[in-house]
Amino acid sequence: MHHTVIDPIMLLRAYAIGIFPMSHSADDPDIFWVEPRRRAILPLDGLHVSRSLRKTIRADRFRVTADRAFAQVVRACAEPMADRQDTWINQSIYEACRRLFAMGHAHSIECWDGDRLVGGLYGMALGRAFFGESMFSRATDASKVALAWLVARMRVGGFTLLDCQFMTDHLASLGAQEISGRAYSGLLAAAVGDAVPGLPDVASADFFALDRLGDSPDDDLPPSDALTVAGPVSGQLIAQLLTQTS
């Protein structure tokens, strides 16, 4: 079966103007482009962290990493779930995502229980925007923990927009908001600016700033002993970052 080949640069340009690809099913070789009339976003200072979730984060219930198992995360997101028997991620989209990962634009957050991948998410970074694509969970709160780490990482790295595409009850419970296409276009333009794939973009956010946080000379930041061997930083630090106001 011949699958549509998605050029990664074209895909980045599509994100930059607010559209993204989907497929009707994993087995469908074709894709279509989507521009929602209303868009779900998650304000970086508006993540709802319940008391139980905060406890899970602080206790380092999961070992959390970034960009360690990107392909595994995308594949896991494409698996059937109880509330969704089919997926919009086909082979064409999977391959395009892997190319963008190799280029440094696609990223994943992974939650591990020992050596078992139990949750995570992935998306694309362009300028100061992060386009969340999908998440999955095989253990209680694993995807929520991954999202919390993503938000903390974005806040430290200078991101301004977390695009969640379509609103769901799950996202709403975590603080996502639905806005008009016009309002989204304004936020998108401010976040992406004149980012041109292949050329330096001085306005780009830094997805890996969190990993260097412990080495910062800023007295307001936690000391380097907050870092852990298992992951970039401790859950205690993540919880602290999420409670700080911008």
Q: Domain containing 182 — which CATH number?
A: 3.40.630.70
Which position has the token pair 């002993």?
225
Question: Has residue 2 got a pLDDT over 80?
Answer: no
**In-domain check, residue 215:** no
**In-domain check, residue 202:** no
Which residues, 6+ apart, have CB-to-CB distance to 115 below 8 Å? none
Question: Has residue 3 got a pLDDT over 50?
Answer: yes
List the one residue out of 103, 79, 81 whose CA is nearest residue 89.
79
Counted domains in the chain: 1
Average pLDDT over residues 49-64: 96
Contact 32, 23 (CB under 8 A): yes
R_g over Cα of the chain? 17
Of 102 and 82, more confident: 102
C-alpha span between 54 and 113 (Å, rounded): 18
Contact 139, 62 (CB under 8 A): yes
pLDDT over 90 percentage in the chain? 69
Question: Has residue 206 got a pLDDT over 90?
Answer: yes
Which segment of 11-20, 22-31, 157-166, 204-213 scores lowest on mean pLDDT? 22-31
**In-domain check, residue 1:** no
Q: Look up the domain containing 37 and give its range.
A: 8-191+225-243
**In-domain check, residue 206:** no
pTM (2 d.p.): 0.87
pLDDT of residue 87: 73
**In-domain check, residue 199:** no
